[in-house]
Homo-oligomer: A and B are copies of this chain.
Amino acid sequence: MEKNIDIEYANIDLDRTERTGMQEVIYCAGKTAEQIAGIVGAMVERGLYNILLTRISEEKVDFLKKSIGGHDVFYDADGKIGVVDRKLSDAPIGNITIVSAGTSDLGVVREAAVTAEVLGNRVNVINDVGVAGIHRLLAKEDMLKEARVLIVVAGMEGALASVVGGLVGCPVIAVPTSVGYGASFGGISALLSMLNSCAAGVSVVNIDNGFGAAVSASRINQMETAQD
C-alpha cells in the first residue's frame, strides 16, 4: 500500500490517516496555484475527498476548479479555507462550541468551524461575547456547559479565554487572533494572555490558527470512555 506520493515539489503523506486518523491538509500560503493543483490532482486521482486547503485565496480556488474539473471545491471566503469534494457526515459527533470575542474574529471562527465539520463533529458558534459586556457571555452559560470542548477565539487582550476557562470543566483550546492595533503586535498580546491564563485547563495554538484548534478539538470531542 502506497505510503506517500513523491512528486517533484511535494511528497504527499498518504500514511497520515493511518497514523493520526486524519489525512494530509494542504497549507496553501507560499504555494503557487499550479503546485496546489498538482497536489490536489494526485490526491483526487486516488479517490481522496474532504481535502482541506487552508490559507487559500479565491483566485487560487478558481484556478484549482478549472484544473481539476469534475470535482467540487467548497470555499469559505471569510476563513480563506477550501474543501475539495466536501462530504459532511449525516451524524456529526458530540459538541464543539466555538466562542468569539468580536465580529472581527469571524475569519478565524470560520476556519475552525469548516475544519471541525469536515472532521465529523457537530459545531456550535457563539459570536461577539467579549468580556467588555460580561452579561452577554453569562447569558450563554448553558451553551458553554453543554459543550464537550470549547474553542475560544479572541484578539486584543484575549481575556475571554481566562473567563471562559473559569466557568467550565471541559477542555478549552484558545486561539489568539491578530485583531487589534498598536501594542496588540499582530496577536502577541492575546497570545501571551492565553499562555498566562490564570484558569487551568486552557491550552493554546498559534495566532489565527483556527484550523489547528479545530483539529485538537476534534480529537478531544471524539474521545471515548477509558477502558480499564
Contacts and interface: CB of A to CB of B under 8 A. Distances in A.
Given A15-B133, A183-B206, A207-B181, A21 B102 contact: no
Interface stretch (A40-48, A59-67, A213-221): A213-221
Given A104-B31, A182-B207, A206-B182, A169 B21 contact: yes
Nearest to A38: B103
Contact of A181 (B9, B29, B179, B201): B29
Contacts of A103: 9-10, 30-31, 35, 39
Contact of A128 (B10, B104, B209): B10
A13 interface: yes
Interface stretch (A68-76, A82-90, A192-200): A192-200
A170 B219 contact: yes
Contacts of A1: none
Contact of A222 (B27, B30, B31, B226): B226
Q: Which 9 A-B pairs have the closest CB atoms?
A: A182-B207, A30-B104, A159-B159, A94-B226, A13-B133, A203-B203, A21-B169, A189-B192, A223-B223
